[in-house]
Structure 1
Amino acid sequence: MKLNLFSKIFIITFVIFLSVLFIYMYELRESQKNSLLKNIEIKANSLGDTITFINSDNMIIDDEVKILESLLNYVTLNKDIQNLVLSKKDDYQLLVKPNGWSQLENKLKEKRLNNSIKKSIFTDEIVYRHKYPILFSGIQWGFLYFELSVDEYNEQLKEMNKQFSILILIMLISSFFISYILARIISKPIIKLNNISNLISKGDLSQRVDIERKDEIGTLANSFNNMVENLEKSQNKLKNYQLDLEKEVEERTKELKELNDTLELRVNSEITKRQEQEQLLIQQSKLASMGEMIGNIAHQWRQPLNALGLVVQNIKFAYDFDELDDQFMDTSIEKVNRLTKNMSKTIDDFRNFFKPNKEKIAFNLDKIINETLELVDSTFENHNIDIKKDIEKDIKVFGFPNEFLQTMLNIMNNAKDAYIENNIVNGKLHLKVNKSTDFAHVTIRDNAGGIPKDIRDKIFDPYFTTKEEGRGTGIGLYMSKIIIEQNMNGKLISESIENGTIFIISLPLYKD
């Protein structure tokens, strides 16, 4: 059912009034209820003050007989007290009722007693439970535990609820009439304005809104009338413009006829441009596919994972032979941290590999090469491969240190795999770093058996590999060549020697 504006305003206003009303009444009721509870608490404290005052002398001298007689008389005369417990600190607890007294076998725990309306500890009745501490000169002698009748409290609460019900009914009726009046005042001019708007929308621009008020609605009516007048003037101008437009269309038609003669040439030109754009998009798509392919070669984590496994194995061996000390653990943890950090960097390096907007920085070759050696050190030691270093320090180049480190890892891992596949015992890898006038040179020489002649020209081709399925993708040397030659303006070549292979990396020296 679709509601009109009057109904919507009435319902919203009425709901708001009711919400405010019920919130107010709820808070007021809770406040009155708390006030009644406060009165009971005051009464309980007054009873405690009176009992303590009457029995102060007897309590000081611990005259238990007189204390008990006084409590029995007081409880008998005071109908509000259902049960009264006198507890002497670290001693006995007496339960006093209007019909007698007894000593409690199970003592009440003072911490569990609180001031509230709850079920009685001794009967099934609902009572007000109150704990009153007995103090003499600031020292606690014991406490009184009252269970007071809540009949008066319930009567007062019942009367209060009755008054609140009457008040709610009165305010509900008042809210209904106030909401009706407000909805009438607000919706009437808006409905009138809506009816005039419908007539104007059908083309009758002579209509005007007849609302004479000095508030915002009156201002809106005047603005609406001014808008209609302006619209009527604009319509008249539009008719004149239509005549002028017809003449202009005739002139434009003649121009279009002339343009139509040269349209074929222009279309061909646009088609050529479109084809060039499509070729560019195809090239970008290829680069995106290459980026996805590079993301898939994250399995090159194998080497650092193997190194991690060897570190863990070394820790186990050290533990077995009682050689596990703090220095060995610190060294192993440091190596593990370096490996995991490099693994994280490797993913970012591969994913950013073909992005053109990477920032080059100056870096020392010896630092990156030493980091590479630290990553492969354990793996090479495990396979009895000796690495001989001849590194000239402070040779600085300009490029991407992480990608250069990945190139070194690719070449050295290929050498390691060759040692393993060819069953080379006591392999030796010679690593040399030096510089010439304009270039830095990194030479990696191995004695792993060399590269067969029939595949020497293919080692830098993408997806070419001699390894069995699952152990290589044929992308490592291809990527390394792109890193060195395209990204860092250097040169990467490979030469075969007797029983081995040489890889030479040449990079331009960094000059300030």
Structure 2
Amino acid sequence: MKKNINKREHVHNQIKKHSTELLELLTLHLPDMLWIKEKNGKYIYANKAICDGLLMAESTDEVVGKDDVFFALREREKHKENPQWHTFGELCFNSDVTVIENNKPMRFEEYGNVKGKMLYLEVFKAPFYDRHGNIIGTVGAGRDITELKNTQKSLEENLQLLEQQRKELELFNEKLEEKVKYEVEKQQSQEKMMLHQSRQAAMGEMLESIAHQWRQPLNIMGLAIANIETQLAVSDIDKDELSKKLEAIAYNISYLSDTIDDFRNFLNPAADDYEVFFTPNKSILEILRILEAQLKNCKIKIETSFTEEEFYFKGVENEFKQILFILINNSIDAIKKLIADKTINEGLITIALEDKENHGIVKVMDNGGGVDKEIQEKIFEPYFTTKHKSSGTGIGLYIAKNIIETRMHGNINFFPVEGGSCFSIELPIHKV
């Protein structure tokens, strides 16, 4: 019987020894650091990863019976010239004590210099018990997370840099908004001044148009009144003839009144304050009525071509009229010069109205000789003019382009035609 008991104990010890060897074999070469310590921090077991990566131990056997502080002090002694060569040791023992005091598994991030370089470990430690449930030490596993921490640190630095750049960008945007606001207000002020200058120039040209427009009806009324006075002085005037003369005077007075209304509507500042839907046909005819006498006096014929169905533009109607006035007056000036030079005998201005793909197109064409090829690209620039300084400001076409493109969201273009020029205005059609 005793022989059988001894045999069982021998077998048990063999199995225990085999299990210990198997555990060491399984854990010895794992990349993660594994260890078992006594309560005083001295190693019972350590695998190769912790010996090589943290303790700088010569072998796993050397570790047994020694603690982290021992190896830390040994490394520092070897490299006295560099106090930061090895700073691990005390921290490891402190976390062991924390686990024992709390009597539960815990996670730590331990870090310090190893071989002069920062090492970060993610560490899991737990109490180590004997068969009676008493804490006799700790077991632990550690994983090198240095690369991950460096990546996180780099990411945090980049995020901080990004945040700094965001704040700088916000500050830049604030300054940019202020600058843009200042520049916009400055440009609006300049454009307002240019528009005022253009209006002043237009008023001067209007006076000439008024003079032409009124000369004939005033002459008719003057002759009629003189004829009536003559007949009254010589003899009694015939009632029918007097009635005809008075009708002629009344018609011309009405004509002058209508002309005043046309000019007043065109030059009315209040009409410039709001946008409306308007038909370009009506605007064109009103401008032609204003310039009718001047065109006749300059021997300029007008031809119009409108679409069968009217359509609507949206904008300040008086501004659109001013553009037409600028374009037609430019044509008049060019034609007058050719007639004075006897290059042509009669002028022709054609105004065509077309619609194409939800856009209305207004074309103003003339036989005024055109624009030299070298300066065609400059004609819309502010203060550029081919006229003499006394008769041109050079802002008319610039104002026209600005109104069409900025305010009415359209396009204005120039292209030469045989014997003259053509300006084309393209604007979106609105349904009313």
Normalising by the residue count of structure 1, what TM-score does the alignment of the two structures yield? 0.44
- Residue 303 of structure 1 contacts residue 376 of structure 1 at CA under 8 Å; is this kept in 2? no
Q: How does 1:125-136 map to 2 (within 5 A)?
A: none
Residue 495 of structure 1 and its aligned partner are, at CA, apart by: 1.1
Residue 362 of structure 1 and its aligned partner are, at CA, apart by: 2.1
* Alignment partners' CA distance in 2, 1:266 and 1:510: 43
| Partner of residue 385, structure 1 | 300
| Partner of residue 455, structure 1 | 375
| Partner of residue 14, structure 1 | none
Letter in 2 for 1:431: I
Letter in 1 for 2:364: I
| Among 180, 195, 211, the residue aligned to 1:280 | 180
Q: How does 1:98-497 map to 2 (within 5 A)?
A: 272-283=172-183, 284-299=185-200, 300-322=202-224, 325-345=249-269, 349=272, 358-359=274-275, 361-400=276-315, 401-423=317-339, 424-497=344-417
Letter in 2 for 1:411: L
CA deviations on 1:50-99 (whole Å, 9 max, x unpaired) are xxxxxxxxxxxxxxxxxxxxxxxxxxxxxxxxxxxxxxxxxxxxxxxxxx
CA deviations on 1:263-321 (whole Å, 9 max, x unpaired) are x9899567535522441243122322332332233222122211211233223421454
- Residue 412 of structure 2 contacts residue 426 of structure 2 at CA under 8 Å; is this kept in 1? yes
| 3-state SS of 1:506 partner | strand
- Residue 213 of structure 2 contacts residue 290 of structure 2 at CA under 8 Å; is this kept in 1? no
Letter in 1 for 2:320: F
Residue 395 of structure 1 and its aligned partner are, at CA, apart by: 2.4
* Alignment partners' CA distance in 2, 1:436 and 1:310: 37
| Partner of residue 38, structure 2 | none
| 3-state SS of 1:440 partner | strand
- Residue 351 of structure 2 contacts residue 363 of structure 2 at CA under 8 Å; is this kept in 1? yes
* Alignment partners' CA distance in 1, 2:306 and 2:362: 9
- Residue 311 of structure 1 contacts residue 336 of structure 1 at CA under 8 Å; is this kept in 2? no
* Alignment partners' CA distance in 2, 1:489 and 1:406: 17
CA deviations on 1:202-227 (whole Å, 9 max, x unpaired) are xxxxxxxxxxxxxxxxxxxxxxxxxx
- Residue 395 of structure 1 contacts residue 440 of structure 1 at CA under 8 Å; is this kept in 2? no
| 3-state SS of 1:460 partner | coil
Residue 328 of structure 1 and its aligned partner are, at CA, apart by: 1.6
- Residue 398 of structure 1 contacts residue 508 of structure 1 at CA under 8 Å; is this kept in 2? yes
| Partner of residue 13, structure 2 | none
Residue 453 of structure 1 and its aligned partner are, at CA, apart by: 1.1
- Residue 366 of structure 1 contacts residue 393 of structure 1 at CA under 8 Å; is this kept in 2? no
Number of corresponding residues: 242
Cα distance 1:291–1:426, how it changes in 2: closer, same or farther (>3 A)?
A: same
| 3-state SS of 2:211 partner | helix
The runs of 5 or more residues in structure 2 that have no matched partner are: 1-163, 225-244
| Partner of residue 205, structure 1 | none
Cα distance 1:305–1:267, how it changes in 2: closer, same or farther (>3 A)?
A: same
In the alignment, does 2:400 pair up with 1:499?
Answer: no
Rg larger for:
2
* Alignment partners' CA distance in 1, 2:309 and 2:221: 40
* Alignment partners' CA distance in 1, 2:389 and 2:250: 42
The runs of 5 or more residues in structure 1 that have no matched partner are: 1-263, 353-357
* Alignment partners' CA distance in 2, 1:481 and 1:308: 27
| 3-state SS of 1:332 partner | helix
- Residue 367 of structure 2 contacts residue 419 of structure 2 at CA under 8 Å; is this kept in 1? yes
- Residue 409 of structure 2 contacts residue 427 of structure 2 at CA under 8 Å; is this kept in 1? yes
Cα distance 1:483–1:326, how it changes in 2: closer, same or farther (>3 A)?
A: same
Normalising by the residue count of structure 2, what TM-score does the alignment of the two structures yield? 0.51
Residue 493 of structure 1 and its aligned partner are, at CA, apart by: 1.2
| 3-state SS of 2:312 partner | strand
Residue 335 of structure 1 and its aligned partner are, at CA, apart by: 0.9
Q: How does 1:34-45 map to 2 (within 5 A)?
A: none
- Residue 386 of structure 1 contacts residue 427 of structure 1 at CA under 8 Å; is this kept in 2? yes
Residue 441 of structure 1 and its aligned partner are, at CA, apart by: 1.7
Letter in 1 for 2:418: E
* Alignment partners' CA distance in 2, 1:471 and 1:409: 15
| 3-state SS of 1:306 partner | helix
* Alignment partners' CA distance in 2, 1:491 and 1:289: 21
* Alignment partners' CA distance in 2, 1:335 and 1:482: 29
* Alignment partners' CA distance in 2, 1:421 and 1:410: 17
* Alignment partners' CA distance in 1, 2:328 and 2:318: 15
| 3-state SS of 1:325 partner | helix
| 3-state SS of 2:345 partner | coil
Letter in 1 for 2:180: L
Residue 506 of structure 1 and its aligned partner are, at CA, apart by: 1.7
Residue 447 of structure 1 and its aligned partner are, at CA, apart by: 0.5
| 3-state SS of 1:335 partner | helix
| 3-state SS of 1:466 partner | coil
Residue 337 of structure 1 and its aligned partner are, at CA, apart by: 2.3
* Alignment partners' CA distance in 1, 2:196 and 2:222: 40
* Alignment partners' CA distance in 1, 2:280 and 2:190: 32
Cα distance 1:271–1:395, how it changes in 2: closer, same or farther (>3 A)?
A: same
